[in-house]
Structure 1
């Protein structure tokens, strides 16, 4: 197969933990060809197919100088066996525009993973609204009065932007309500921006569990991201410690129920976040955690994913 990865600049990858790198490494091990581009390299012109300025890469086996690359060339997305959209959030207007270009490429015959319309229709934070029975108390609003009422009801809350990643912009406000007004103004930009508020889940001390779903089926191990020190965020980018552990039967059941709904929509890869027993986010843009699970347990999540890509590409 010939795979095109649409991703952030690959020179910025931290190969010791990067999931996209593990996908490329496994694909290369199987003899598949790897080509890359960034969303900014996509283009469409009337009378032509969706094109991109791409570079063919070869992996060296050295995780520092880990790739060599060809000179840039133009290629039609429909000419690849699969196009893997792996651009990190934020889920902003440029991301939306990229999904429209990728959707046009689908109409021309390209096979895009995850499906562009599904990426667009399932923003990370808001996708939980479809599954209220699995979600703890949650509010989506831009109203300071709504936030005050939610805080009065639940006492200890977490506030976060809808377009963040890696724990960016997350605040916790305890029963004293200290700085609630200021934090609300910061997140809603004085009423201009919608954001999310959730009841604080004390089970976070045991970790924010990342469950990897591939074609609707959860991997047998999860990555529990455990906050360190006084930090309330378990995100690895915020200093959390990633500990791989076997999936519980309760989490497996939750993951399968959600996967059964979302996988048929074209979401081949999902990163489901659970604290305690409550789903907090459904990540579909560029879920991570492959490398940590593989290194700590030997569970070949990259292999499971490339198996699914191969099946989808047939």
Structure 2
């Protein structure tokens, strides 16, 4: 099997904990080959979706803490996406128009016979914050709007809310608005860009103190452990990028219920890998672009998350 990773530049990856690198290591252990490309390496020529892809190998003396963990076999070559057994979209957001264009190219490539995971249309049709609206029974009170009066009324009704941009990642742009917040107007004006940009407001969930849990769903089945991302003292964000501490825990019965409800509905839509963000009893986001936390869960529990992903990929390809 030969797998193409559409991914961020390799020198910038933190290989010791990067989930995409963990998938590469699992593929290599099974004797599979892989190549890499950036999103900007995708192009259409004479109606065919093609890519400038570079074959790569993991070094036997890999320095996972540095940049010496991979080597390329040759220069990039132009080829059809159909030449690969699977294409993995592992490019991190921001989910801007270039990202949207890439999902369209993946759709065209799939129509030509390529196998893309997660599928382009599935990524595009399930924006990570808005996708929770399909599962309102599992979410805290939520408002999506750019109307300042409506957002102010929601805050007055709920008292303590979280507001965030729809296209942020890693905890960026998230604010907690408590009762009597003196900067309420300024924060809402800034996030909505004076009422021209839609944002999300959610009732604050106090259980964030126990962690913002990442629950992984692979091939429709939940991984039995979640990574609880515990906020720093005085922080409201548990994101690892915002300084949160990751602690792996077995899924609770309620976590399992949430994951099975989401997995059973979404797995058939071209979403091989899903990452739920769960605080307390509530889903706060459904991540479908490049969900992470593989390595942290594996190191703390011994459960081989990357191996589970490769099993599911092989099954999806009929190459068990």
TM-score by length of 1: 0.98
Is structure 2 residue 45 aligned with structure 1 residue 45? Answer: yes
SS at the partner of 2:45? Answer: coil
SS at the partner of 2:79? Answer: strand
Match of 2:281 in 1: 277
Is structure 2 residue 260 aligned with structure 1 residue 256? Answer: yes
- Give deviations 1:25-78, integer Å, cap 9, x for gaps: 10111111010001111000234x211111111001331210001211111101
Match of 1:190 in 2: 194
Q: Distance in 2 between matches of 1:16 and 1:232?
A: 27
- How far the C-alpha of 1:210 sits from its partner, in A, is 0.3
- Give deviations 1:200-233, integer Å, cap 9, x for gaps: 1000000000000001111010000000111110
Match of 2:33 in 1: 33
Please, which runs of 5 or more residues in structure 1 have no aligned partner? none
Q: How many residues align?
A: 313
Q: Distance in 2 between matches of 1:195 and 1:38?
A: 29
Q: Distance in 2 between matches of 1:23 and 1:178?
A: 47
Q: Distance in 2 between matches of 1:75 and 1:46?
A: 13
Is structure 2 residue 219 aligned with structure 1 residue 218? Answer: no
> How do residues 132-171 of structure 1 correspond to structure 2 at under 5 angstroms?
132-171=136-175
Match of 2:71 in 1: 68
- Give deviations 1:227-272, integer Å, cap 9, x for gaps: 0111110000000000001011111011101111100101010000
| Counterpart selection for 2:234 from 207, 225, 230 | 230
SS at the partner of 1:5? Answer: strand
Q: Distance in 1 between matches of 2:226 and 2:284?
A: 15
Match of 1:56 in 2: 55
Q: Distance in 2 between matches of 1:108 and 1:209?
A: 38
SS at the partner of 1:273? Answer: strand
Q: Distance in 2 between matches of 1:21 and 1:274?
A: 25
SS at the partner of 1:211? Answer: strand
Runs of 4+ in structure 1 deviating by more than 4 angstroms, as ranges, are none
> How do residues 99-110 of structure 1 correspond to structure 2 at under 5 angstroms?
99-110=103-114
Match of 2:24 in 1: 24
- How far the C-alpha of 1:284 sits from its partner, in A, is 0.2
Q: Distance in 2 between matches of 1:258 and 1:301?
A: 19
Q: Distance in 2 between matches of 1:46 and 1:145?
A: 50
Q: Distance in 2 between matches of 1:62 and 1:28?
A: 16
Please, which runs of 5 or more residues in structure 2 have no aligned partner? none
Match of 1:296 in 2: 300
